[in-house]
Structure 1
């Protein structure tokens, strides 16, 4: 609402909001005239503005309450919303209720090399898809996400090549990976806002999760 009011205010004469007053004052007459506009010949032309316009300007200049995280910028605001989608076991800000057995936190996990390779292959497929979408940019705004330094495809390809040199067989992408990659392609065309949400969530989850894992690994290495 505040952004809409600000937009309206941009189209009002500047003389109305150079020094906004929030204190009570006598009501103006039903109509007032602004001498902000001038005619081509230099003569001043009176512009009639309704009383409601002055009310809109005053509302737009008043400070509106900020949401949690908003004062620190767009990224922090997005982080606050994203963390609420976790369970309490996953994050202290989490608000998601655990309803299914598979949603419960894993207390102990013994990963295998084969399982890790499947994860790498599916991850590379997803990142290949994301990077191709922003390069082709079916919507112009996607071009803003090129060459951010967060690209992962090349590094994942190197990781998989190393495992291949060690004698491991690199699997093909799994059905869930293929399905999700196709879903991202379709979403990028028909629903840009939803695609950006997925784009942000993938990079946020992997970068934040990677830092947490790296911290724990470093701690165990120096234990």
Structure 2
């Protein structure tokens, strides 16, 4: 979840933190394919795919990382809203969305573009460290800087581990093809035909060099 408040303590501590997704952050990640199979709206699936591929390329991010963040934040529900006001697929807070130029947090393309832009900013801020960027996305960059690493919040630590676990599971070319095939199963080819025609042209190699050792970061 992205929040404009950066320095609150953990959610399970004496006070609340902004680090709270609509999906409960558990210590075990939900299988990526299981979540994808729950997305029923075919046009929404195609739009999610289009937006993830477009924005991940725009901000030099591996698409599997973006998919994993979306899964953890909202379970692929475009209209998801958390109790603290974060909304959309990548759970943008109102203030942060405004700073990213996102006018409608429930718009699939705008939400994903804003979330990817913010994730890229966190990667640049923390020297390309994927684990720290994810921790900042969840708990705020101020907390990462305060603790000089992943904050000692159970929720944030599980959040980072869950996302990297799913990235690791789907980082291979074959696995990525299976994931996208699951995402697009039975979609009418007339929906976004230019995108669907390219769905198998997916590299298993990370887009940016900082992801080459992603599984070793946590």
Fold agreement, TM-score > 0.5: no
Structure in which a larger fraction of residues adopt helix = 1
Task: Report the structure number with the largest CA radius of gyration.
Answer: 1
TM-score (ref. length: structure 1): 0.23
TM-score (ref. length: structure 2): 0.24
Higher relative contact order (CA 8 A, sep 6+): 2
